Chain A
Amino acid sequence: GENVEQHPSTLSVQEGDSAVIKCTYSDSASNYFPWYKQELGKRPQLIIDIRSNVGEKKDQRIAVTLNKTAKHFSLHITETQPEDSAVYFCAAGTEGGKLIFGQGTELSVKP
């Protein structure tokens, strides 16, 4: 069935360093790839998304890259800050509207 694998499950970086989270999807029909941030006890919130006709998208310190041939996409956070500490989820979606989520990455940014 449809599957999204996300790595690493935990990531610890020093403030100011970069963080990279990687996902792989199985359904070649997937054409929408959002990233959600979830702070402890809160709801997931979209931070950036990309569609399959685009290879890269940036929003300030956050960027997402997509390699459709390899079925890989990645989240890059530069100049990390303590408030970036949270759980990050990738997902893959198709025209049917369903999202399949990865297992999550717990990012810890140490001051």
Chain B
Amino acid sequence: NAGVTQTPKFQVLKTGQSMTLQCAQDMNHNSMYWYRQDPGMGLRLIYYSASEGTTDKGEVPNGYNVSRLNKREFSLRLESAAPSQTSVYFCASTRDRGPYEQYFGPGTRLTVT
């Protein structure tokens, strides 16, 4: 099993550009999450999907949108990137709403200039 995978690993955007971060899991998990990690601030939840077909806002949703494409895939979209969105983005999944152990992907390092 690959676990949780994310693409791309690195990305540089100019202010105002858009992009989609992709996440997929092969563990048949129901719940998926998007976090951002900034120095000294831990992991902050952006959006989550408790089950296929549902999405909810986390702590810091502004400037982002998500799509739960199917049970395996959960994407994060930046419509108009801003320098404040420079961060490392992690996707995670867990078997159910839980709470249970969350399994993290390898992360995407995004820089917005």
Q: How far is the CB of A96 from chain B (nearest CB, A)?
A: 6
Inter-chain contact A43/B90, CB cutoff 8 Å:
yes
Inter-chain contact B48/A97, CB cutoff 8 Å:
yes
Which B residues are CB-close (under 8 A) to A44?
A: 43, 90, 104
B102, CB-defined interface residue at 8 Å: yes
Q: How far is the CB of A28 from chain B (nearest CB, A)?
A: 15
Bound Cα distance A3, B96 (Å):
23
Q: How far is the CB of B24 from chain A (nearest CB, A)?
A: 15
Interface size class of B (residues with CB under 8 A): 20 to 34
Interface size class of A (residues with CB under 8 A): 20 to 34
Give B29-63 as 1s and 0s: 1 = Cβ < 8 Å from A's Cβ atoms.
Answer: 00101010000111111001010000000110000
Inter-chain contact B101/A46, CB cutoff 8 Å:
yes
Q: How far is the CB of B48 from chain A (nearest CB, A)?
A: 6
Bound Cα distance A94, B98 (Å):
8
Q: B102 is contacted by which of A4, A6, A31, A99 (Cβ under 8 Å)?
A: A99
A14, CB-defined interface residue at 8 Å: no
Q: Is the contact region of chain B dominated by helix, strand, or loop, or is it mixed?
A: loop
- Name A72-104 residues within 8 Å CB distance of B: 89, 91, 93-104
A26, CB-defined interface residue at 8 Å: no
Q: B97 is contacted by which of A95, A100, A104 (Cβ under 8 Å)?
A: A95
Q: B99 is contacted by which of A1, A9, A95, A103 (Cβ under 8 Å)?
A: A95
A45, CB-defined interface residue at 8 Å: yes
Inter-chain contact A103/B40, CB cutoff 8 Å:
yes
Which A residues are CB-close (under 8 A) to B43?
A: 44, 89, 91, 99, 101
Q: Could you list some 30 contacts between A and B, CB below 8 A? A: A4-B42, A9-B40, A32-B99, A34-B101, A42-B106, A43-B104, A43-B105, A43-B106, A43-B107, A44-B43, A44-B90, A46-B101, A49-B101, A95-B97, A95-B98, A97-B31, A97-B94, A97-B96, A97-B97, A97-B99, A97-B100, A98-B33, A98-B45, A98-B58, A99-B33, A99-B99, A99-B102, A100-B59, A101-B44, A103-B40
